[in-house]
Structure 1
Amino acid sequence: MPPLTIRRLPRSLQVGYEPAITICLGDEVQQIPQSQLLQHVWTDGLYTECHECGLGFSSEDDDAAKTLIRTITFDNSECGLYGTGAMDMTQEPLTVHPIRIFNRHFQCLKDRNVRYIPISHAWHPEVSQLQNDHPDTIDLSVHFQAVRAVYQTPVKTLQAIAERFGPAMEIWHDYLSVPQWLYGFQTQLLQAIPDIYSWPGETTPEPLSGSMQVECPGMVMHLDDVTAVDLAHLHNSRDYPLFLEGLSRVTQSRWFERMWVTLEYLQAETVSILTGDWKVFDVEAGQLLERTDNAVSKYIKQKGSTAFHDDSNARGCRYATKVCWTDMESWKKWPDKYRTLGSAVYILGQKQCRDMRDYHFALAGMIGLRINKRHDRDDDSERFFRLAKTALGRGDYTPLLFTPIVGEQSYPAARWLHGHSSMTEEIWDLGPCHEKAYYTEILRSSRVQPQLQMVGIVEEWRWIDVDVDPKVFFQSVVAWIVKGSGASASAFCAAIDRIFPEDGNKALYTRWDGYVDGDQTATGPDDRAQYHYSLITPYLERFIEMLDGSPLPLDQIAVLAEVLIAATRLDRKGKHSADSRLNMALAEVEGNKSKKSLAVDGIAQVWCSYCKRRSLFRLLCWTPPESGVTEVFRIPNLLYDETVPQGVGLVVTNGVINGKMSNGTPACNCLAYRRVDIH
């Protein structure tokens, strides 16, 4: 049965009547004392049977179609009066009419093609704390701001939506749409977020009689600490100082710090922005971001990257936030098969949320999984393990390429699993997926046994020391290459490419022309290094002669190394960076050392057991490879942002992954494959 109408009663003869909030629910008019608002709306005070089919709701039902969808709109009748008083949160007054609540099954809502707009917002800290504390009674003298925010935020949002898109619009706002203190329903709705925020974009509302069709967004993101003027500065972009001011205000918004809103954004087809001064901005979020990215590129070309970032940092801009926003928008355009657990971890790992359980639910939502709460053992590591195994079962190799982080204990059931005990983006550093692996069957009878291409056995391993002079480091690399390959210019240049890859060869800089039938067509780099072998060979022969000398002619070796650097163009600026290939490679090594992961770059001499060739490969390892034991494998066809084609692989010691490679292009023509048992 629906709850009885709540009437206003005097709290005491001295205070008089307590102000009440009016809510229309079915045939009822509820007048809820403000001190009882949270206990009412966050438990079962707004419960009714479905307003469409008349059946009830169950928090135990795992069928998303039967989920409770509670929407909010304005009632067009004179069904209630607002109270007044010094502590009255409705005294502004907010609206002409009170709000009306509709409860529907998700499927009933779809069947009736009911159009609603879900609201994505960052919770007020005081509301979040109150929701978490769940006190038995609410003291308005202490919690007034929180209670007022729970009521006023959805109502003011609805008012702005109604002014822009029409008075009949309904919204879904979790301050009122979710019974936050009924754990079963709250968990059910958390898991339904992908459906709640994605379905509106698939519908077209019927226009009211005599009215014009109104284009409605799939979602509204509420940036309550950004004004419409800030967005206008960002959109206009012609005035450089004002553009930077707008960029700073937007990237500092607390909305971009939260995790759940990120998931909501990723699900929505189109997104409008509601500002802190309650204005729906004229330009859709994706279009505003595209215009922002174009303006950033323009100013970097005009002023230089260093000058632009110095200027933006001086104004408090969080540029990493802008980059993350771009990643979020890009995610929505990727086909499902390129949406990996690694990319999801990278996006969400930068955000904030209350606990690991919510983080894992959000990850599951991003990659299209649904965690059955009945089978959830409340074990964070075990839950992440199940997510990773599900990803592996889909042919997603990213869980095997995660890097370990400092302080994390090994997971007993799978030593290959990293990131199971904390929320961090640093376990994934290869970027989005561009091409799937040729062999996608990774799990066989629940065991991790991928089919991999054999590269060879590690014979020798050296960590890369970034503290030495880059040219001295290059000399040692040349000496090592010619020791194994002699004066072969082709082998030398191939090794140089594996150790000092060109930025234009990475998939990050591949120009995407779009998707055809779900597959990407890409135009690769048009300026791959073209080496003059006939020019390089004499220098290598001379280098070998010098190495045989006693004592070593160090000055002559240094001069010859300079010549080889020029011949291989390692001193030239990259197409997409002002740094040289040599400096860029060492900067990557230094960047890896600065992270909280255990991975460190090194160079390995690898022996192919088929053709007996010895070649150098740059690897990222978290434990030193064992000579004669550790093996290197390639994952054919797999390609990520920060890798080169046919360059992704694993370093395995006795069945345990202890490293990976990103630039490991083939050094020989051997095509041997093996099913590798990973522990």
Structure 2
Amino acid sequence: MSESIPGHKHSSHSRSGGANLKRKRQNSTASQTSSEPTVCFHVGNESRETSQGSLLSYIWNTGLDSSCVSCGEPFQPSKDVPIRTIGLERNSPLRPSVIDITQDPISPWNLRIFNQHFACIKTNKVNYIPISHAWHESVAAAHDTRTESISVARIVYQTPLKTLLALAEVSPDCEIWHDYISVPQWRADIQKQLLLSIPEIYNYATKTAIHLDDVKSVHITNQAKSSPYNRFIVDFTTIIKSRWFDRMWVALEYILSKDVVILTEDYMVCEHNARDLCLRLDALHSKWVKQRGNSDVTEEIWKQNTTLKRMNSWIDMEAWKNEKGMYRTLGWAIGILGHRQCRRSRDYLLALGKMLDFVPTKDPLILVEDRFQYFLSLATHALLLGDYTPLLFIPPSAEKRDDRAPWLRGYSAAGWKV
């Protein structure tokens, strides 16, 4: 855990003093009974509480809203959205409660919320660490159905808290951006605007942490030493089988980030960054292929219920991210993102656009409502840059030609097979 992670340039007290926050606590009362566990947040100069039974409604609506803690000005919904980072309030210990969802792990501090304009973050050179992670299925279900759940609230609160505590072991004053808390998920207008801000959120930060929440640290630390072949196969496949590699958005977040550190299932910050681990795994795989043959190594990987395609995708992400001389095409972008899962085809198209720096003349959230029109605009953008891969796509069997551009194929499928 020797990775150096940037802390914050200013103390929480100097920043929270920048805004005169007058709004009252949302979705909470001062007279909550002692038998009902509460969750406390520090927002600006205020301490706010909500019952754990209404945590999702609180944080995914307006409960954590405030003016900008840097300039004191409010946020204009049509012009800017709050970039909400999370830190530790070290001067206000949690009240113990054996049934409180915040008690595992027991943290000596509450969470402090910082809402800021992105312009203020840049002006004040604020450091934060965005977290790239795969959503838990139960959280996604609660999000989609807009239902409260204690078990989901536990995940939504504890995952960012454990993440922050782990990173604070390396950098005590660090702040994180974690979409379980940083995004008011049940406010569609804000959520959609933040969706378009993801590239800048991840690209601005000095470091990003990817959370491989189903990979224990031992599987990664084993790669730093000469492990026997059987051990290598187990560790190698455990890493690339992580559900993080299943998701589409995290691939975009990874590519757009600068340095990337790894957080494990047991909340350890790995000594080596993600690029070093990727190169190390690739080198070890090549070593064993040379010694044992490609077919034998591939068969052993298959026996672990995974394929080498996942490792190749990681290598492609690293190449896109770091090899400046590489020619970045729409076809290559589809190859990286197309085999990954996303909940909405809209997100897949928007992510492709972000990879290719596509800036449509029309609001992308409106343009993407017409799937064909967005894909046509993106393909035209690529062609104008000399990228002819859009002319080579293989049409899915059920796809019909569209008279607006009969030559365009693959618009109906969010997949790499085009």
1:59 Cα deviation after fit: 3.4
2:75 corresponds to 1:69: no
1:230 Cα deviation after fit: 0.9
1:340 Cα deviation after fit: 1.4
Which residue is 2:102 aligned to? 90
1:510-525 map, 5 Å: none
Helix, strand or coil: the match of 2:322? Answer: coil
The alignment of Structure 1 onto Structure 2 pairs a total of residues equal to: 394
Which residue is 1:390 aligned to? 381
Q: State the AA in 2 paired with 1:335.
A: K
1:90 Cα deviation after fit: 1.3
Q: Look at both structures and tell me which one has the larger radius of gyration over its CA atoms.
A: 1
1:19 Cα deviation after fit: 0.4
Q: How big is each residue's C-alpha offset from its partner over 1:405-455, in whole Å with a ceiling of 9 and x where there is no partner?
A: 21111122101111111211011xxxxxxxxxxxxxxxxxxxxxxxxxxxx
1:129-140 map, 5 Å: 129-135=141-147, 138=148
Looking at secondary structure, tell me which structure has more helix per residue: 2
Which residue is 2:338 aligned to? 349
Unmatched tracts of structure 2, length 5 or more: 1-20
2:390 corresponds to 1:399: yes
Q: How big is each residue's C-alpha offset from its partner over 1:26-55, in whole Å with a ceiling of 9 and x where there is no partner?
A: 110011111111111111111111111222
1:427-576 map, 5 Å: 427=418
Q: How big is each residue's C-alpha offset from its partner over 1:117-143, in whole Å with a ceiling of 9 and x where there is no partner?
A: 0000000000011111123xx2xxxx2
Do 1:21 and 1:83's aligned partners in 2 also have CA atoms closer than 8 Å? no
Looking at secondary structure, tell me which structure has more strand per residue: 1
- Percent identity, please: 39
Do 2:133 and 2:211's aligned partners in 1 also have CA atoms closer than 8 Å? yes
Q: Go from structure 1 to structure 2 and tell me whether the alpha carbon gap of 1:116 and 1:336 turns closer, same or farther (over 3 Å shift).
A: farther
- Aligned to 2:190, which of 180, 185, 203? 185
Q: How big is each residue's C-alpha offset from its partner over 1:354-381, in whole Å with a ceiling of 9 and x where there is no partner?
A: 1111111111111112452464361222
Q: Go from structure 1 to structure 2 and tell me whether the alpha carbon gap of 1:178 and 1:385 turns closer, same or farther (over 3 Å shift).
A: same
* Distance (Å, rounded) in 2 between the aligned partners of 1:184 and 1:314: 46
2:160 corresponds to 1:154: yes
1:249-260 map, 5 Å: 249-260=238-249
Which residue is 2:7 aligned to? none
* Distance (Å, rounded) in 2 between the aligned partners of 1:21 and 1:185: 24
2:128 corresponds to 1:116: yes
* Distance (Å, rounded) in 2 between the aligned partners of 1:336 and 1:31: 52
2:54 corresponds to 1:36: yes
1:326 Cα deviation after fit: 0.7
2:36 corresponds to 1:18: yes
Which residue is 2:118 aligned to? 106
Q: State the AA in 1 paired with 2:294.
A: S
* Distance (Å, rounded) in 1 between the aligned partners of 2:294 and 2:129: 39
Q: Go from structure 1 to structure 2 and tell me whether the alpha carbon gap of 1:399 and 1:367 turns closer, same or farther (over 3 Å shift).
A: same
Do 2:105 and 2:158's aligned partners in 1 also have CA atoms closer than 8 Å? no
* Distance (Å, rounded) in 2 between the aligned partners of 1:96 and 1:85: 14
Q: Go from structure 1 to structure 2 and tell me whether the alpha carbon gap of 1:378 and 1:37 turns closer, same or farther (over 3 Å shift).
A: same
* Distance (Å, rounded) in 2 between the aligned partners of 1:129 and 1:295: 39
1:389 Cα deviation after fit: 1.7
Q: State the AA in 1 paired with 2:384.
A: G
Q: State the AA in 1 paired with 2:130.
A: P
Which residue is 2:415 aligned to? 424
Give RMSD over aligned pairs: 1.8
Do 1:115 and 1:169's aligned partners in 2 also have CA atoms closer than 8 Å? yes
1:231 Cα deviation after fit: 0.8
Q: State the AA in 2 paired with 1:232.
A: T
* Distance (Å, rounded) in 2 between the aligned partners of 1:291 and 1:408: 41
Helix, strand or coil: the match of 1:224? Answer: coil
Do 2:345 and 2:414's aligned partners in 1 also have CA atoms closer than 8 Å? yes
Q: State the AA in 2 paired with 1:151.
A: Y
Do 1:19 and 1:85's aligned partners in 2 also have CA atoms closer than 8 Å? no
2:328 corresponds to 1:339: yes
Helix, strand or coil: the match of 1:425? Answer: coil
Which residue is 2:351 aligned to? 362
* Distance (Å, rounded) in 1 between the aligned partners of 2:292 and 2:241: 23
Which residue is 1:4 aligned to? 24
Do 2:396 and 2:413's aligned partners in 1 also have CA atoms closer than 8 Å? no
1:274-293 map, 5 Å: 274-293=263-282
Helix, strand or coil: the match of 1:71? Answer: strand
Helix, strand or coil: the match of 1:192? Answer: helix
1:180 Cα deviation after fit: 0.8
Q: State the AA in 2 paired with 1:40.
A: Y
* Distance (Å, rounded) in 2 between the aligned partners of 1:149 and 1:2: 30
* Distance (Å, rounded) in 1 between the aligned partners of 2:125 and 2:216: 33
* Distance (Å, rounded) in 2 between the aligned partners of 1:287 and 1:392: 34
1:564-643 map, 5 Å: none
Q: Go from structure 1 to structure 2 and tell me whether the alpha carbon gap of 1:106 and 1:10 turns closer, same or farther (over 3 Å shift).
A: closer
Q: How big is each residue's C-alpha offset from its partner over 1:511-570, in whole Å with a ceiling of 9 and x where there is no partner?
A: xxxxxxxxxxxxxxxxxxxxxxxxxxxxxxxxxxxxxxxxxxxxxxxxxxxxxxxxxxxx
1:9 Cα deviation after fit: 4.1
* Distance (Å, rounded) in 1 between the aligned partners of 2:229 and 2:29: 57
Helix, strand or coil: the match of 1:129? Answer: helix
1:244 Cα deviation after fit: 0.7
Q: State the AA in 2 paired with 1:81.
A: L
2:68 corresponds to 1:54: no
* Distance (Å, rounded) in 2 between the aligned partners of 1:247 and 1:411: 44
Unmatched tracts of structure 1, length 5 or more: 202-217, 428-679
Query: When the two structures are superposed, what TM-score results if normalisation uses the length of structure 1?
Result: 0.56
* Distance (Å, rounded) in 2 between the aligned partners of 1:150 and 1:123: 10
Q: State the AA in 2 paired with 1:108.
A: C
Do 1:121 and 1:221's aligned partners in 2 also have CA atoms closer than 8 Å? yes
Do 2:320 and 2:326's aligned partners in 1 also have CA atoms closer than 8 Å? no
Which of the pair has the greater relative contact order for Cα pairs under 8 Å at 6+ separation?
2
Which residue is 1:303 aligned to? 292
1:318 Cα deviation after fit: 2.6
1:304 Cα deviation after fit: 0.8
Helix, strand or coil: the match of 1:51? Answer: coil
Do 1:8 and 1:32's aligned partners in 2 also have CA atoms closer than 8 Å? no
Do 1:3 and 1:45's aligned partners in 2 also have CA atoms closer than 8 Å? no
Which residue is 1:480 aligned to? none
Q: State the AA in 2 paired with 1:72.
A: I
Q: Go from structure 1 to structure 2 and tell me whether the alpha carbon gap of 1:93 and 1:279 turns closer, same or farther (over 3 Å shift).
A: closer
Do 2:94 and 2:108's aligned partners in 1 also have CA atoms closer than 8 Å? no
Q: Go from structure 1 to structure 2 and tell me whether the alpha carbon gap of 1:359 and 1:112 turns closer, same or farther (over 3 Å shift).
A: same
1:303 Cα deviation after fit: 0.7
* Distance (Å, rounded) in 2 between the aligned partners of 1:92 and 1:295: 38
* Distance (Å, rounded) in 2 between the aligned partners of 1:4 and 1:223: 38
1:302 Cα deviation after fit: 0.6
Which residue is 2:18 aligned to? none
